[in-house]
Amino acid sequence: MVKRKKVRDLGKARAPGPSLRDHLLADGSGVTPPLLEESYVFLGDEDIPYDWYTSHERLQDEFKFLWPKVWQWACREEHVPEPGDYYVYDIGELSAVIVRAEDGNIKAYYNACMHRGTQLKPPATCGTTQGLRCPFHGWTWSLEGELIDLPQEWDFPHVDKESHKLPELKVGLWGGFVFVNFDQDAQPLEQYLGVLSEHFSHWDLENRYIETHICKRLPANWKASAEAFIEAYHIRETHAGGKPGTEAPTQYDIFGENVTRFVHTIGSRNGSTEIGVDEQERLERLLKGKLDGDSVPKLPDGVKARDYYAQLLQKDYEDKYGKDFSNLTTSETIDSIEYFLFPNAFFFPGLTLPMVYRFRPDPVDPDYCNFDLLFLRPKPEDGSHSRPPDPINLEVEESYTSVDSVGSLGAIYDQDTSNLAAQTRGFKSSLKRGQTLGNYQEVRIRHLEMRVSEYLNS
């Protein structure tokens, strides 16, 4: 029977059993300080209109009032490691050329010629260039944005180097990522990041490299797509076939204007559903399908399954990536730790779940978006790594499992894609015209939608 909560309890209800904090403090490896912070805010319980996802008008309003105003990561620093390297970032009709200048600094320019507006570099391209030369008439700028070649200059007495320098975008660097903002009056990136800089001082994203980059077309609005990954409430039905007891302790946090988080534990007790399950059985569950026929080792006396499992993975990753990971806590090693930076970026600082997500709207169709999925792996001790791989482009009907490096996660991402297609259809066929969110587990969805509305109504 579904029981209605009393009004005074709104936003205060939590899953029965120990909290995430309790579980992390029970780990034998200690806890990284940011994971002990809690910051929940009740943001209301009104339905979110389906029109916010399906409306062409709202999509265009987002392109007009949101995307030109927000910080968004464009590429990694490793995409432009040497002077002359460039990378084109596109969002809707906006386009930026990110370059490594001669002095080693990273700059970003509006991707348009100052003569007649032709784009200087094609969309979604990268490479090396000596300067930015317009393919239409040959006007050329240096990597520092200075106009250095104006063909038949005699006909342009009204043009000089100062009047026709390439306009720069705001650029910020964090965690090895290059961020851009098309707003000339944008607040500094450091301020926009909120707690992200302090929290990630414990996790060295700068010393990671892109192992895999997938660009997937999704059959859903960019917000609906991001929101599919912003809560763990769907795991029991979508990824565990509705099996009871598959819910793990999860904490949801709202950190100011632009940052939200969940921490979802792996291999923790699920309240009353695991009474009588001992640590050896829990280890067997964690290692199921991972031992290639080998028997599950017996847990040493006094060692918990989570801790032992994390130690096994740390050794496996040391062998694979040539680096010692024994300093990591159990949670940093195996748990799903996910930070969201408004409006469209997800960062996972953990060792075995090292993903980065980015969702960009389709320029004309609110029912589709483009999803960037990156796996960031630790650089070897000597800092060496290969250049970033070319993105692997997948259409809606193509499976993530076709990409070997995604491994067992491929089938999970396919399940998420199926959900998105069904949700998009349901947005339009439903008599009820809005989605009803959980006050705690889906608060990050509400926060995202509230922030979008703030930009559109400002």
Q: 2 falls in which pLDDT band (50, 70, 90)?
A: low
* Phi/psi-derived region of residue 152, left when phi > 0, alpha when psi is between -120 and 50, beta in every other case: left
Q: What would the mean pLDDT of 288-315 be, rounded to a whole number? A: 86
pLDDT tens figures, 73-127: 999 999 999 999 999 999 999 999 999 999 999 999 999 999 999 999 999 999 9
What are 17-34's pLDDT values in tens digits?
889 999 999 999 999 999
Q: Check pLDDT > 90 for residue 330.
A: yes
Residue 246 is predicted with a pLDDT of 64
More confident of the two residues 293 and 260: 260
Long-range interactions of 301-306: CB distance < 8 A, separation 24+: 303/28, 303/279, 304/26, 304/27, 304/28, 304/279, 305/267, 305/279, 305/280, 306/27, 306/265, 306/266, 306/267, 306/268, 306/282, 306/330, 306/334
Kindly state the average pLDDT of the residues 149-161: 96
pLDDT number for residue 1? 54
Q: What is the pLDDT of residue 272?
A: 47
The pLDDT of residue 427 is: 97
| Tokens at 215, concatenated | 């660009």
Best-predicted range by mean pLDDT (65-79, 266-280, 296-310): 65-79
- Provide the CA 208 distance to its chain's centre, in angstroms: 15
Structural domains of the chain sorted by starting position, each given as residue range(s) with its CATH number in brackets: 7-55+208-457 (3.90.380), 72-191 (2.102.10.10)
Kindly compute the dihedral angle of the four CA atoms of residues 275, 280, 284, 287, in this order, to the nearest 10 degrees. Answer: 120
Range in 2-11, 71-80, 177-186, 267-276 the model is least confident about: 267-276
pTM of the predicted structure, to 2 decimals: 0.95
Sheet holding 147-149, edge to edge: 132-133, 140-141, 147-149
Closest CA to 30 of 266, 310, 377: 310
205 alpha carbon, distance to own chain's centre: 13
Q: What is the mean pLDDT of residues 335-357?
A: 97
Task: Sort 125 into a burial class: Cβ within 10 Å, 0-12 / 13-18 / 19+.
Answer: exposed
Residue type, 199: H
Q: Tell me, what's the pLDDT at 227?
A: 98
Whole-number Å distance between alpha carbons of 398 and 315 = 34
Question: What letter represents residue 250's amino acid?
Answer: T
- The residue ranking higher by pLDDT, 4 or 65, is 65
Instruction: Determine which of 39-43, 121-125, 385-389 has the lowest per-residue pLDDT on average.
Output: 385-389
- Tell me the angle at which helices 56-65 and 443-457 cross, rounded to the nearest 10 degrees: 70
The full length of the chain comes to 458
pLDDT digits over 188-200, tens only? 999 999 999 999 9
77, 191, 350 from 205: Cα distances, Å: 11, 19, 10
- Mean pLDDT is lowest, of 10-14, 324-328, 364-368, 397-401, for 10-14
